[in-house]
């Protein structure tokens, strides 16, 4: 049984609702199914990823562009890889 979300995790779930369906179908399931299993450093990186602009996130997730920050690029790949399984 999965533990309930904490208050801060519920706020993150809300931040995953971006208003762009292309991002919502990636971020919301990742938050629901994988976020709590991440090590703390990757959780922090995911939180940092959510601070980025939607237009940038969309370009990165669609792999039109790559983030300048290698850590954010790594987190993009973590999200895509986990959702592919």
Record the pTM. Answer: 0.90
First to last CA, the chain: 20
| Separation CA 58–CA 38 (nearest Å) | 22
Is 65 within 8 Å of 59 (Cβ atoms)? Answer: yes
Burial class (CB in 10 A: 0-12, 13-18, 19+), 31: buried
Task: Please report whether residue 72 resides in a domain.
Answer: yes
Is 41 within 8 Å of 76 (Cβ atoms)? Answer: no
Instruction: State the pLDDT confidence band at 19, using cuts at 50, 70 and 90.
Output: confident
Total domains present in the chain = 1
Residue 62 is inside which H or E element, if any? none
Task: Please report whether residue 37 resides in a domain.
Answer: yes
**For 21-50, what is the mean pLDDT?**
95
The average confidence (pLDDT) of the chain is: 94
Written as six digits, the tokens of 15 are 């931040």
Please identify which residue in the block is written with the tokens 């987190």: 75
> Domain containing 78 — which CATH number?
1.10.150.250
Instruction: State the pLDDT confidence band at 85, using cuts at 50, 70 and 90.
Output: confident
Task: Please report whether residue 1 resides in a domain.
Answer: no
Owning domain of residue 72: 7-84
């Amino acid at each position: 049984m999965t533990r309930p979300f904490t208050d801060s995790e519920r706020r993150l779930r809300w931040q995953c609702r971006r208003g762009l369906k292309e991002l919502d179908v990636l971020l919301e399931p990742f938050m629901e199914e994988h976020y709590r299993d991440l090590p703390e450093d990757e959780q922090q990186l995911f939180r940092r990823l959510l601070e980025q602009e939607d237009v940038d996130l969309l370009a990165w997730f669609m792999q039109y562009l790559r983030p300048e920050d290698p850590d954010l690029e790594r987190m993009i790949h973590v999200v895509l890889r986990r959702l592919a399984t």
